[in-house]
Structure 1
Amino acid sequence: MGMSATDYRQMAQKLLPPGFAWSRNEADNITYFLQGLAESLARADSDISDIEKEIYPESALILIDEWEDALGLPECGLGGDDLAKRRLDAYAKDTAYGGLS
């Protein structure tokens, strides 16, 4: 599980140098600025976690079309709309003798 925006903000605040100009008060502008950056980092962290599932055809959701193109599926034009069947077909073709290489 990834880190939250609050986790990223707190981490960034710990990296700030000491002093009056770099306040860690919740109501200061620097905190709002760091929170905005932290939300982008948390979103990227979440996207990375999601894209890790796309590495394998049996768990692909976003890249299932690319997996099918790379593996030459559907064969004979017998594709379907059932995602589970599409994943299973891609997995079977990928793990068949020789694989994708």
Structure 2
Amino acid sequence: MIHFSDIEINKFQLNSLLNQHEKKGFKFLLRNEICCSSCKNKDLQIINKHTLYLDRFNDLKISGECSNCGSSINYIIPFGHSETFFRKAIQFRHKHLETVDN
């Protein structure tokens, strides 16, 4: 079995991984599903200093801190089950390894 590590990605890289339908879903989840488990804050600007990752399962992970209480927030958006996304993620990982090795 192949084990991947988390890779930090930027918005441009995220944009290249998602198709139009997935982008709409991603934006919807960001606006409606992320909630701080400590203070239960749920607003559009809940996450400060967030970082995006392609996680080891080829899902998207958002990590940051709550804008209200400062608690750590980690949220997984499951895209790795999509065959199309999974293939794009594998291609991205290969390109990422090539740039890291050079």
Q: Please give the range of the TM-score, normalised by the shorter of the 2 chains.
A: under 0.3
Which is richer in strand? 2
Which is richer in helix? 1
